[in-house]
Amino acid sequence: MLKELESLLQLSSQKGSTHAEVYQIKSQSRPIFFEGNRLKQLESSQSSGTALRLWQDNRPGLAVAYGKIEPELLVDKAIALSQLNEVETIELAAARTEIHPDQGIEVAVEDLVEMGRNAISYLREKCPELICSAEFEWEQETTALINSNGLQCQYSETSLSYYLGAELIRGEDFLEIYDGEYSKDRLNIDTVIEQILLRLEWAKQNVAPPKGKMPVLFTTNAATMLWGTVSSALSGKRVWEGSSPWNDRTDQLVVSELLNLSQQPNNKPYDCPFDDEGTPTQTFNLITQGVLNQFYCDRTMARELGIKATGNGFRPGLDSYPSPSLVNLVIEPGYGSLSDLITKLDNGIIVDQILGGGADIGGDFSVNVDLGYRVKNGKVIGRIKDTAIAGNTYKILKQVVALGNDCKWNGSCYSPSVIVEGVSVVA
């Protein structure tokens, strides 16, 4: 795979480029879809995308090809685009060879179909009125990066993933619960099914939502709304722009002392050996006992801020330049299960699924609760509807009173459930 990319570097040099890099992703997948309790569709797909970034007269040009590469066309396009850009400082990783073998496993389509049918059958056995949907997928992806400095990096990953959706319609009342998992070796479907059934039990009856400021328990599903805002505030790009509220807060208390946040890129299943610039990823503490330790950045932001690159330069898409992004944000768990956390609430709500986006960089949020429950005297008494929550993320993260030990991956964020005080609940 790497050898076929070297011709692009050679051709770029022949046409007058002083520096260049080639980034390529190849993938194949086998997704299967269930709808209305039945198998709906089987698919098989392959894709390939190649991005050439070069510098001519210190001006960057980026061109992308999907599928088969036409070297002359791709190089000429990148050179032409470079003439439209401003001169910049060139940031390329130094020479290094790093090839990682694929450690995932392959699963046959027939096995995925059986998993889906068994999961839906079991859910409907417990609740015959359910209308279930699901998607199961086996995927293999290879990422390669080479540059004119002599860098040669490549890693492959094989993964399994699925989501289950359960819909329940009772007159004009509509309930939808969804959950899923991503793994490189095996899937724990039984655990996810039990969580769906537990939420169905909690939602047997609807109750009036409370009003005013009160404790809110964000489950592992909903807590990612909070961590998304924190991730943005910790970005070196936000610091450089002056938009992070924590610009000058290093070594100061910024959130509750109960919170410890770190980046752990070696944790499966979202492990990642190097970023999209070829810089090795690193394990480091972002926040320790509420105190801000450091920010994360790509190579360009590191230069602008006068700090060392942290290996967090990732491309939002093939046609994008690298920008700071976290890989494997881990929130250290607390103590007790979700059930234990619920017993801590005398009068509050559980937020499990939300509608709409999270907070802006200023931290303010106002979102509708898609799936939530009322808790009184440490017990769930029913589902709440037509309810919204509002507040400021930075403020309520100073009011964390408990963290569970029920950590779960949501994307590359590993989070427990969390109880925060002082959240406004609006009916």
pLDDT (tens digit per residue) in 63-91: 999 999 999 999 999 999 999 999 999 99
- Full set of structural domains in the chain with CATH: 2-196 (3.30.2290.10), 206-427 (no CATH)
As given in the structure block, the two tokens for residue 62 are 């980026």
Nearest 5°: phi and psi at 233?
A: -65, -25
Average pLDDT over residues 341-355: 95
The predicted structure's pLDDT at residue 354 = 93
Among 285-294, 305-314, 357-366, top mean pLDDT goes to 285-294
**Contact status, residue 301 vs residue 310, Cβ threshold 8 Å:** no
44 pLDDT band, cuts 50/70/90, is very high
Say if residue 346's pLDDT is above 90: yes
The mean per-residue pLDDT over the stretch 279-293 comes to: 97
**pLDDT for residue 378:** 96
What's the distance, Cα to Cα, between the start and end of the chain in Å?
57
Whether the pLDDT of residue 101 is over 90: the answer is: no
Q: Give yes or no for residue 1 having a pLDDT over 70.
A: no
128-161 confidence digits (pLDDT tens):
999 999 999 999 999 999 999 999 999 999 999 9
Predicted pLDDT at 173:
87
Residue 74, sorted as left (phi over 0), alpha (psi -120 to 50) or beta, turns out to be alpha
**What's the rounded Cα separation, in Å, for the pair 427 and 424?**
10
Q: Is the pLDDT of residue 359 over 70?
A: yes
Tokens of 59: 């001006």
Whether the per-residue pLDDT at 364 is higher than 80: the answer is: yes
- pLDDT for the residue numbered 357: 74
Is the pLDDT at 328 greater than 80? The verdict is yes
Mean pLDDT of 26-38: 96
| 299 and 311 Cβ atoms separated by less than 8 Å | no
pLDDT at residue 356 tops 80: no
pTM given for the model: 0.93
pLDDT in tens, 365-376: 999 999 999 999
**What is the distance of C-alpha 164 from the center of its chain?**
18
Per-residue pLDDT at 185: 82
Average pLDDT over residues 218-234: 95
Q: Give mean pLDDT, residues 275-283.
A: 97
> What DSSP designation does 110 have?
H
3-state secondary structure of 206: strand
Mean predicted confidence (pLDDT) in 22-39: 96
pLDDT band at 113 (very low <50, low <70, confident <90, very high): very high
**Is the preceding omega at residue 269 within 30 degrees of 0, hence cis?**
yes
Q: What is the mean pLDDT of residues 303-311?
A: 92
Mean model confidence pLDDT for the chain = 94
Q: According to the model, what pLDDT value does residue 171 have?
A: 82
